[in-house]
Amino acid sequence: MTYKRSLILTIIITTALILASCGTQELEDPLNWEIGTLQGTTQANEEFSIDDMEGKVWLADFIFTSCNTVCPPMTRNMAKIQDMLEEEGVDAEIVSFSVDPEVDTPKMLKEFGSAQGADFSNWTFVTGYSQDKIESFAKESFKTIAQKTEGVKQVSHGSQFFLVNQEGKVVKYYKGATNVPFEQIVEDAKIVAN
């Protein structure tokens, strides 16, 4: 066999292997944290339940409207991810849970989301549960803090973005406020969605 034929054969085999591996991509070391139940009210004043997300790929985060630190940049970062997901044709939803539900009304969440560039067609902001409920939900389902100290207006909470699969399990989390791995989030969402 000539060198040229050998080189062509090597290229064909390599290309076939690369194409074959593209169809079977999987997330590396998924977390598989089970998400508990939560009911609430959306920014559109409609009922929301975690059950509504069954069979969907989604990203989640925890925010509140009077936040004067990480929440506005986190929400702008999520809006950028939303645009990137749309550009890549990735079918994914976004859910932002208020960690200050006694203050955050649906109207306030809608105004906050709009101000940060959220597209509500596949992004839901949720409130309408007790402070105790969101604190335990964040801790048990997402292994993150959500804590409001009495007499303090700011709420302590995690600034991660969480990727949730169709079975309702957290499979990955990422930095959401600074040094956000935008491309990695979109790539992982694409893998989970396929």
Structure confidence by residue, pLDDT tens digits, 9-22: 555 555 544 444 44
* Confidence label for 150 from pLDDT (cuts 50, 70 and 90): confident
Residue 25: the pLDDT is 79
Rounded mean pLDDT of 89-111?
97
HSE of 11, CA atoms in CB hemisphere, 13 A: 6
pLDDT at 111 over 60: yes
| Mean pLDDT for all residues in the chain | 91
- Structure-block tokens of residue 92: 């994914």
Per residue in 35-84, pLDDT (tens digit) is: 999 999 999 999 999 999 999 999 999 999 999 999 999 999 999 999 99
CA distance 2 to 31: 50
Rounded mean pLDDT of 133-156?
95
Domain parsing of the chain, residue ranges = 28-193
User: Among the CATH numbers 3.90.1150.10, 3.40.50.2000, 2.40.30.10, 3.40.30.10, which is that of 28-193?
Assistant: 3.40.30.10
Residue 5: the pLDDT is 64
| pTM for this model (two decimals) | 0.87
| CB contact set of 37 (below 8 Å; sequence gap of 6+) | 49, 50, 51
CA distance 192 to 194: 6
pLDDT at 100 over 90: yes
